[in-house]
Amino acid sequence: MKYDAAAFLESLFQRADAAPPAPDEIRVEDLDPEWRIEWEERAAIMEHEAGLPREQAEAAALADIAARIRRGERFAPCCTCPACRGAK
């Protein structure tokens, strides 16, 4: 087995988002505004609390949101207090 060290090292520096998205892949740009806010919050929590790099936190948050959308979940805010529901 021949090992190509140069190819391996080059692959380490390729951007993960350089590849075009798959046809069924959900992109941040495609999210509804409510899901976009949910994605931003999840990514921020993963970055701050878990100490993940921003890119990794955003990717993990998007994977979670995409899985929820594929399961057919509708967006629902986590908080059900009157203020969050818009009640006066």
pLDDT of residue 48: 92
Mean pLDDT, range 17-28, rounded to an integer? 62
| Cβ-based burial of 57 (10 A; exposed 0-12, middle 13-18, buried ≥19) | buried
pTM score > 0.85 for this model?
A: no
**How many Cβ atoms from other residues are within 10 Å of residue 43's Cβ?**
23
What was the pLDDT predicted at 4? 74
Span 7-33, mean pLDDT? 68
User: Where does the chain have alpha helices with state H?
Assistant: 5-12, 33-50, 54-70, 82-85
Question: What pLDDT shows up at residue 1?
Answer: 56
Neighbours of 40 (CB within 10 A): 14
What are residue 54's phi and psi, to 5 degrees? -55, -45
